[in-house]
Chains A and B, each alone.
Chain A
Amino acid sequence: MSEDLKILDEVTQSEYKWGFVSNIESDNAPKGLDEDTVRFISNKKSEPEWLLEWRLKAFRYWLTMEEPVWANVHYPKIDFQDIIYYSAPKAKPVLNSLDELDPEIKATFDKLGISLQEQKRLSGVAMDAVIDSVSVKTTFREALGELGIIFCSFSEAVHAHPELIKKYLGSVVPHTDNYYSALNSAVFSDGSFCYIPKGVRCPMELSTYFRINSAGTGQFERTLIVAEEGAYVSYLEGCTAPMRDENQLHAAVVEIVSHTDATVKYSTVQNWYPGDKEGKGGIYNFVTKRGICAGDRAKISWTQVETGSAITWKYPSVILKGNYSIGEFYSVAVTNNMQQADTGTKMIHIGKNTKSTIISKGISGGKSQNSYRGLVKINKNADNARNFSQCDSLLLGDKCGAHTFPYLEVNNKSAKVEHEATTSKVGEDQIFYCNQRGISTEDAVNLIVNGYCKEVFNQLPMEFAVEAQKLLAISLEGSVG
């Protein structure tokens, strides 16, 4: 990532001016959702007819569906007609210097250890500091293009690589899958497309961090990653900056296709606005993420660190279709104050000798509720399938809750499925021990919690792991009395 940071630094110094300001007003769709909204979005993106039809099909299907209520989360009913489904990126207020920045945001930046240059970019100080997405793309594309790797926005891919999009869009998460994936399929604004050709090992971590055009259009994001035979890619979904997105509802869809002998690693750090201490505001994050190990010995590994959002509803899953394919899920989900999280994974074993690992670490503080929900399904023909699940919950204080909902469906006698679960509290003894060595209570809690999450953090690329640790510290502030 240090190489990436260097590039970031270079482009933040460049003279490019962000040119979105003039046409912003006309780029908003009218509030509400009907077929015209879907057409409006498709039209805005000059999409081909087949994609419009695909969206409309999803929309019509969505109309027949009911909002799911089974998750262990509570919130007032969403008015889907009260949402603007398409809006161009908003121009941020231009500040003359960092001194004009909200001191609270400045303090958060400092805690995250974000460089001054980067702080300027994030808070919109002087427009020329804003990343020139075009030049970033160019820098990356030259290197990646030589290897035949495609990494671009979804809208671009629709035009540049329609055959690939047609082939794979909706192949892992069909629009009929669930309420929010249907909604996303109808109105998705943009997202990322990533394609690694046969036998290619992607030489750098691919990160959405560098795609500025996703800011403000991330509400209904669509990501598609395809790794051809023997390919390898590590993909980071960056929401690592303390940018507070005020959009109420996020319903993203991520699809991954991993072919024979291919490996896809997908890491997320999510820190969207969790609402205030009383639970006002905050993002509803209802995401469908699924990958398929389509060929033999394919591998998909999800790593997620969830610290933000008022409500999280998210189950990154793997369909293990190829023989000897491997699915992994490593998760840290932190809830504090009034946050609610219902998250986990699904591992669907179809191929023979398939293997899955689930490591989930839930941390709850304040009055938050944290649920793990996981399905391990072994199909009839999945001989010698293996699963190991470990679900740990850590409680900070006595007003929060941790819940575990493991579902096991085993239809093959040769399967071996293991599930371990623990619930523990950060002990007074542990905190006192740290205190007695000169470590303050707040630092002690961070140290203990980070130790508890180590297995998951170890799965993250280094720079990302450091960031995750800092985020954790911020999320847990004031969680222990």
Chain B
Amino acid sequence: MLIIKDLKASVDGKEILKGLNLEVKAGEVHAIMGPNGSGKSTLASVLAGRSEYEVDGGSATLEGEDLLDMKPEDRARAGVFLAFQYPVEIPGVSNANFLKTAVNEVRKSRGQEILDSKDFLVMMKERMKLVEMDKAMTQRSVNEGFSGGEKKRNEIFQMAMLEPKLSILDETDSGLDIDALRIVSNGVNALRDGERAFIVITHYQRLLDYIVPDFVHVLYKGRIVKSGTKELALELEEKGYDWIKEEAEALNA
């Protein structure tokens, strides 16, 4: 589904991704871990098309289509969803109104019929259950005054509504207490259907107890330096990143 080849990217002239390769097939869950500053969030931003990030080389395709050539909204319509690490507040715009606009834009681009208010409400009601979301939250302004946990739940709720092919979760577990973590993870797991693919970016193995990955990759200095199965995450939890860093440096030397 997603094929990234030798991807290089920089921000403010500073090179961050230095030739990253990754292939994600339909239905797979890939976890990306790594020490601070290794380029995890940059990868998410580059895939979603944030304009501050400059692509210096390489390619990224979604089902054969060149992602890097598309505008951010076209990537979203093509099925890329980013659950933001820091969801943005939009005062005065109700969550429901925002989502209705988004869902219908995406549906339009897929040649699906636009949902009227009634059908949209039905869909919303059903998907809200996935993240145990309160009805009142849909009437509040997008993320405004939401607690950290509510914001993350809202991200997963949006994901459920937009039905993306590829979801990128950028440190969705950061700032969550254990209950919120469980709710968010249940939401994600409910969306795993053997077709949808996920990239889960996290610092902590804990999240991967809930969202069990098919593969775990370690990102270090802008490259994936080690890949494995879920056991790799446990090993990292136990031993930290130093041994990986040493291995990587030794290879480079």
Contacting pair A448 B90 (CB below 8 A): yes
Contacting pair B90 A451 (CB below 8 A): yes
Question: Given A432-B72, A447-B93, A451-B93, does the pair A439, B82 have CB atoms closer than 8 Å?
Answer: no
B41: CB under 8 A from chain A?
no
CB within 8 Å of B: which A417-453 residues: 427-430, 432-441, 443, 447-448, 450-453
C-alpha spacing A435/B90, complex, angstroms:
13
Question: Given A432-B50, A451-B141, does the pair A438, B91 have CB atoms closer than 8 Å?
Answer: no
Contacting pair A429 B49 (CB below 8 A): no
Chain B residues with CB under 8 Å of A427's CB are 88
B contacts, CB < 8 Å to A: 48-51, 71-73, 75-77, 81-82, 84, 87-93, 97-99, 101-102, 105-106, 109, 141, 158, 162
- Of B49, B77, B93, B158, which is within 8 A of A448 by CB? B93
- Of A437, A452, A455, which is within 8 A of B76 by CB? A437
Least CB separation from B91: chain A residue: A451
- Of B87, B92, B99, B105, which is within 8 A of A433 by CB? B87
Nearest Cβ in chain B — how far from A64, in angstroms? 48
Contacting pair B49 A435 (CB below 8 A): yes
Chain B residues with CB under 8 Å of A455's CB are 92
Nearest Cβ in chain A — how far from B213, in angstroms? 23
Nearest Cβ in chain B — how far from A426, in angstroms? 10
Chain A residues with CB under 8 Å of B106's CB are 437-438
Contacting pair B90 A438 (CB below 8 A): no
A454: CB under 8 A from chain B?
yes
Least CB separation from A453: chain B residue: B92
- Of A434, A438, A440, A451, which is within 8 A of B92 by CB? A451
Contacting pair A438 B93 (CB below 8 A): no
C-alpha spacing A168/B91, complex, angstroms:
43
Contacting pair B92 A454 (CB below 8 A): yes
Chain A residues with CB under 8 Å of B98's CB are 434, 437, 447
Chain A residues with CB under 8 Å of B141's CB are 451
C-alpha spacing A465/B72, complex, angstroms:
31
Contacting pair B105 A439 (CB below 8 A): yes
List 9 tightest A-B contacts by C-beta distance, closest first: A451-B92, A451-B93, A437-B102, A435-B72, A454-B92, A433-B88, A438-B76, A438-B105, A438-B106
Query: How would residues 345 to 377 of chain A score, 1 for a CB under 8 Å from any chain B CB and 0 otherwise?
Result: 000000000000000000000000000000000
Nearest Cβ in chain A — how far from B67, in angstroms? 13
Most buried by A among B51, B77, B92, B158: B92
Contacting pair A438 B87 (CB below 8 A): no
Contacting pair B88 A452 (CB below 8 A): no
Contacting pair A429 B102 (CB below 8 A): no
Chain A residues with CB under 8 Å of B49's CB are 435-436
C-alpha spacing A433/B151, complex, angstroms:
13
CB within 8 Å of B: which A382-433 residues: 427-430, 432-433
Contacting pair B109 A438 (CB below 8 A): yes
- Of A428, A434, A438, A451, which is within 8 A of B162 by CB? A438
Contacting pair A450 B88 (CB below 8 A): no
Interface size on A, residues (CB 8 A): 23
Contacting pair B76 A428 (CB below 8 A): no
Question: Given A433-B87, A435-B76, does the pair A428, B51 have CB atoms closer than 8 Å?
Answer: yes
Chain A residues with CB under 8 Å of B158's CB are 437
C-alpha spacing A448/B93, complex, angstroms:
7
Contacting pair A452 B87 (CB below 8 A): no
Some 5 contacts from A to B, beta carbons below 8 A apart, are A433-B84, A436-B75, A438-B76, A451-B90, A455-B92
Least CB separation from B48: chain A residue: A436
If A437-B98, A439-B101, A439-B102 are given as contacts, then 8 extra A-B residue pairs at C-beta distance below 8 Å, sorted by A number, are A432-B88, A433-B88, A436-B49, A436-B72, A437-B102, A441-B73, A447-B98, A452-B91
Nearest Cβ in chain A — how far from B32, in angstroms? 18
Contacting pair B93 A435 (CB below 8 A): no
C-alpha spacing A453/B11, complex, angstroms:
35
Nearest Cβ in chain B — how far from A191, in angstroms? 35
Least CB separation from B107: chain A residue: A438
C-alpha spacing A440/B108, complex, angstroms:
13
Chain A residues with CB under 8 Å of B162's CB are 437-438
Question: Given A448-B90, A451-B93, A452-B91, does the pair A438, B73 have CB atoms closer than 8 Å?
Answer: yes
Nearest Cβ in chain A — how far from B244, in angstroms? 31
Nearest Cβ in chain A — how far from B250, in angstroms? 39
Least CB separation from A361: chain B residue: B92
Contacting pair B71 A435 (CB below 8 A): yes
C-alpha spacing A443/B162, complex, angstroms:
17
CB within 8 Å of B: which A438-481 residues: 438-441, 443, 447-448, 450-455
Chain B residues with CB under 8 Å of A429's CB are 88
Chain B residues with CB under 8 Å of A448's CB are 90, 93
Contacting pair B51 A432 (CB below 8 A): yes
Contacting pair B88 A438 (CB below 8 A): no
Contacting pair A450 B93 (CB below 8 A): yes
Contacting pair A438 B50 (CB below 8 A): no
Contacting pair A438 B77 (CB below 8 A): yes
Contacting pair B90 A433 (CB below 8 A): yes
Contacting pair A452 B92 (CB below 8 A): yes
Nearest Cβ in chain A — how far from B140, in angstroms? 12
Least CB separation from A449: chain B residue: B92
C-alpha spacing A437/B81, complex, angstroms:
7
Nearest Cβ in chain A — how far from B162, in angstroms? 7
Least CB separation from A448: chain B residue: B90
Most buried by A among B81, B87, B105: B105
Chain B residues with CB under 8 Å of A439's CB are 73, 101-102, 105
Most buried by B among A430, A434, A447, A450: A434
C-alpha spacing A318/B162, complex, angstroms:
49
